[in-house]
Chain A
Amino acid sequence: MSENHATLRTLEPEEEQFKNLIADLHALPNAKPAEDFDYKLKQRIAASSSSEKHSWWKQFFSPERLFPLNLPGYVYGIVATFGILLISYYVFRSSDVRRHIDSIPRSEEQLLQEQAVPAKKSSSDEQRTMPPTGSSSSNDVSFKREKPSPPSPPTERILPQNRRVLSPAEMEKKSERAMKTSEEKEFLPSLRGIVIDQDMRIDSAKIKDSLRDTLQKSKSDAGEPGIRNDQRAR
């Protein structure tokens, strides 16, 4: 230890009240390192360096081992990114993720198939399901309510228990077919002019004839328009 011989600095205004204390603190003897401090420090550094060398963890993950080539850092970054993408690709291909994603277009296809079922009905059926217009037409045979037909048995594709995994080639064909069907549905009704339901296409000429017949019949049943019932009775 040695005495602190350094002169006291100029005190700031707020330090004036502690002037004596500051002077005494400043006068406290300085601690001096032991003679063998450097020697001991050298020994401890050598010991810590050797123990660090023997640490298998640091040895395994040492930069020299991980990055043996003297390349810039971004090169390792690019290589690592490429490796991760490659591994992700193979994992994606070999796991359920791919199968799950493949099942998404299949479900869309099922939806299209379900929508396609009413479109396959005959045109006469379509006419019968038309709602009656104008006065009541209980005599009109064409608007007789049909017995509800039993639901068509579900196809193999719709039932989940019967669902089978399709090969990629089959999938492609199916999806192409589905695309064609959807295109037809989308464009054909608009060309023909009348759309009642999403899946129902109706011949406009036939409807026109049917409506005209119905109107004539109702006129003949009700008599001339504009004549009151009491006048008619007279």
Chain B
Amino acid sequence: MSQEPVEQTFVQGGHSSFGYTKEELGQKTDEELILLFQQDVMPAFDILVARFKGPLLNFIYRFLGNYDDASDVLQDTFIRVYHKKHLYKTIAKFSTWIYTIAGNLAKSELRKPYKRRSVHIIQQSSDKEEFEIPLPDSEALPDQRTDGSFKRLRIEHALMQIPEVFREAVILRDIQDLAYEEIAEIIGMPIGTVKSRINRGRSHLQKLLKDIYD
């Protein structure tokens, strides 16, 4: 995980009562931070939240297709980490552990009976309601920008239509840019299965978007 600057954490002031400054904690690895948090160094948790909230939210949002649900699941993920910190063992990477928690919670969210909304994004946009995803601020012309938005919406829609197992693998590989080994650990499957799922997911997407990619 990249060492992102700590934007807004629960660490107040320059020096914490645990003998670590905010800067010192910011330079530590994820695994070192969770070990410190296991020793009740609370600011370490704040740093972990700051590092992982963006990538995790992106992963959950792409998986669920709903921003509010994704935010709730992300909060649940961090609450789970907060209360179950003692369950983390150093044999695994912290990012793998937290992605696994987030993935499991996201799958549980999808299985809730009132959460079966596979085309949520398209529905929202077609109903002309407020759509919270801001368009990328590019230099393209307005018609090109519209084409780009349309293509993006089509891809997002297609992503929500492929089976969960393929969607999860494709998101982790092609959107989150994780290595096959890490994805295999998160999903709990052999690397061969992961590669197969990713390829099958891509094939599904290409079929759904054949008017774009033909």
- Seen from chain A, the residues whose Cβ lies within 8 Å of a Cβ on chain B are 1-4, 6, 9, 14, 18, 20-22, 24-26, 28-34, 37-38, 40-42, 44-45, 48-49, 52
Contacts and interface: CB of A to CB of B under 8 A. Distances in A.
Interface of B: 8-10, 46, 49, 53-54, 57-58, 61-62, 67, 70-71, 74-75, 78-79, 82-83, 132-134, 136-138, 151-152, 155-156, 159, 170, 174-175, 177, 195, 199, 202, 205-206, 209, 213
Q: Is the interface of A mostly helix, strand, loop or mixed?
A: helix
B175 A37 contact: no
10 contacts: A21-B202, A25-B155, A28-B152, A29-B134, A29-B136, A31-B58, A31-B67, A33-B53, A37-B71, A38-B46
Contact of A22 (B53, B71, B75, B202): B202
Given A21-B209, A38-B49, A1 B134 contact: yes
Contact of A18 (B132, B175, B202): B202
Contacts of A28: 62, 152, 155-156, 175
Contact of A38 (B10, B57, B206): B10
A24 B70 CA distance: 22
Q: Is the interface of B mostly helix, strand, loop or mixed?
A: helix
A182 B209 CA distance: 95
B61 to A, nearest CB: 4
Contacts of B9: 38
Contacts of B49: 38, 41
B79 A48 contact: yes
Given A41-B75, A45-B79, A24 B137 contact: no
A21 B133 CA distance: 21
B205 to A, nearest CB: 6
A40 B79 CA distance: 11
Given A28-B62, A30-B54, A41 B155 contact: no
B53 A37 contact: yes
B177 A3 contact: no
A202 B119 CA distance: 104
A45 B48 CA distance: 15
Contacts of A18: 199, 202, 206
Contacts of B151: 24
